[in-house]
Amino acid sequence: MARIVYGANPVRELLRAHASEVSVVYLAAGDTGPALKEIARLCKERQVAFEERERPALDALASDTTKHQGVVAITGELEYADLDQLLDDLDEQKAAPLLVVLDGVQDPRNLGAIVRSAHALGAHGVVVAKDRAAPVTPAAVKASAGATELTPICRVTNLVRALETLRERGVWTVGAVVDAAPAPGKLDLTGPIALVLGGEQRGLRPLVLRACDHRVRIPMSGSVASLNVSVAAGILLYEVARQRAAKA
């Protein structure tokens, strides 16, 4: 099944990483801005067909949003990564895995923002559940600024089993909670780590939380009870990156 990717950065990264899978790129007619000129150049270099379309046509292609920045690409279905294969690859690279596991994140924009932070802060992949969770939609790709084209995303049938697999492969799982738990700076996050975060409404499900090796809580001084899941992911990923840089 074909999928839609829109926005200047997402389409640019798509062309750089997976040009052979792009069927066509549509550019806003009459737009001579530098971003679209660069995308047209990339299309020519990588022999990808591109055409001009009026903006109302692009709005319709981009799920009736006007946030496409004048560029929409039609490409193949996203190829989700295999978790075991990803771990095998990291073993070969002798890299300490840093993964983000999401339990029931349903807003595609949150998913995209988390993938963007994961890519920017050195995570090796994101794990999501097949059911009751947001897939990689055009909105997720746009929110990720193209990071969905660069970051392995593993889609698993059973999240608890995936956590057991991680443990068997030597990866410690750390569940983010809002109640009593150590602050991120109190944990050693320099080894093989999977950060486990819950969905927008209910957080981590009890079965998933029980499957985690450790718990972590982000201290807050304000009156708001919890953080948006994408913000929480960014904070925890930054702490992992900080600790690893300090240890290097």
The pLDDT value given to residue 240? 97
Q: What is the DSSP letter of 100?
A: E
99 three-state secondary structure: strand
The pLDDT value given to residue 138? 84
The pLDDT value given to residue 180? 83
Among residues 166, 236, 245, 172, the alpha carbon closest in space to that of 198 is found at: 236
Q: What is the pLDDT of residues 227-238, one digit of tens each?
A: 899 999 999 999
The pLDDT value given to residue 227? 83
Mean pLDDT of the residues in the chain = 92
Region of poorest pLDDT, from 34-43, 61-70, 157-166: 61-70
**What is the pTM assigned to this prediction?**
0.87
pLDDT band for position 90 (cuts 50, 70, 90): very high
Region of poorest pLDDT, from 35-49, 86-100, 214-228: 214-228
Domains delineated in the chain = 3-75 (3.30.1330.30), 83-247 (3.40.1280.10)
Strand partners, 154: 81, 127
Contact 9, 38 (CB under 8 A): no
pLDDT band for position 31 (cuts 50, 70, 90): confident
The pLDDT value given to residue 225? 64
The pLDDT value given to residue 65? 75
Cα 128 to Cα 134: distance, rounded to the nearest angstrom: 8
The pLDDT value given to residue 178? 86
Contact 180, 202 (CB under 8 A): no
The pLDDT value given to residue 66? 80
The pLDDT value given to residue 63? 77
